[in-house]
Structure 1
Amino acid sequence: MSVSGIEGIGGFAPLATPRLDPASDLTSPRGPDGASGAGGGFGDLVVKGVERLQQTQATSDQLAVKAATGDLQAIHQYTIAASEAQVTTQLTVAMRNKALEAFTEIMRMPV
């Protein structure tokens, strides 16, 4: 979820969330088995995605505590962080479901 148009509003700086660069995946050298030459593969992407999900949820939780205690000056920061955490969770669950469906379909294939 991008909040690139909000930077100029009231000095708000969007939360620092790491993003994947699809172009770098296309230009990275690949080995004969299709794996990235730099040692990054599908497993690394999954691990990074889960770490990003945990970081996003932790940020949302911290801002929720600040909002509940009255320490948060701008409530929109929590609202954006909570929405970002929700969307990230939904994406992760959808990817897990698709991977499970693919695994089930492979297991049904006759040998």
Structure 2
Amino acid sequence: MTAPLSGVLPVGVSAVTGVAGSTNADAVTSTSNGDGFASVLASTFDKLQSTQNAADTLGAQAATGDLKDVHDYIIARTEASLATEMVVTFKNKAVEAFNEIMRMPV
């Protein structure tokens, strides 16, 4: 089983394996190399999309009867749901922080 949320919060958690065997240390390294917040955010959305695609593929296999263990689909769908919820929460907090900064007097 993979942990699709490794790229969502790259700071503060160490050596958590993620999609395709990458670790969040890779994300921290990319930010320290000057790639910045935008690249971490883009890679997070890419990982979210791949997690959702994997769950959709398993769902199609379950619907056609090709899936041997339906638990794989349930786990993948739950991971995709949690990843989506976490990304949306992260986005909401980022927008909230931006709005708070914009309200600061100059």
Instruction: Return the TM-score normalized by structure 1.
Output: 0.71
Question: Any unmatched runs of 5+ in structure 2?
Answer: 4-17
Q: Does residue 1:17 correspond to 2:12, yes or no? A: no
Gaps (5+ residues) in structure 1? 3-15, 29-34
Residue of 6, 30, 35 corresponding to 1:40? 35
Please tell me the residue identity of whatever aligns with 2:92. Answer: N
Asked if structure 1 preserves the Cα contact closer than 8 Å seen for 2:55 and 2:73, the reply is yes
Counterparts of 2:25 and 2:56, CA distance in 1:
29
Higher helix share: 2
Q: Which amino acid is 1:21 matched to?
A: N
Q: Distance in 1 between matches of 2:40 and 2:78?
A: 22
Mapped partners of 1:23, 1:48: distance in 2: 11
Corresponding residue number in structure 2 for 1:67: 62
* Superposed displacement of residue 41, structure 1: 1.1
* C-alpha separation in 1, matches of 2:26 and 2:37: 16
Alignment of 1:65-104 (within 5 A): 65-104=60-99
State the identity %.
42
Superposed CA RMSD in Å reads: 2.4
Runs (4 or more) in structure 1 with deviation over 6 Å come to none
Q: What TM-score comes out, normalization by structure 2 length?
A: 0.74
- Structure scoring higher RCO (CA < 8 A, sep ≥ 6) equals 2
- Write the deviation string for residues 39-78 of structure 1: whole angstroms up to 9, x where unpaired: 3211110000000000000000010011011110111110
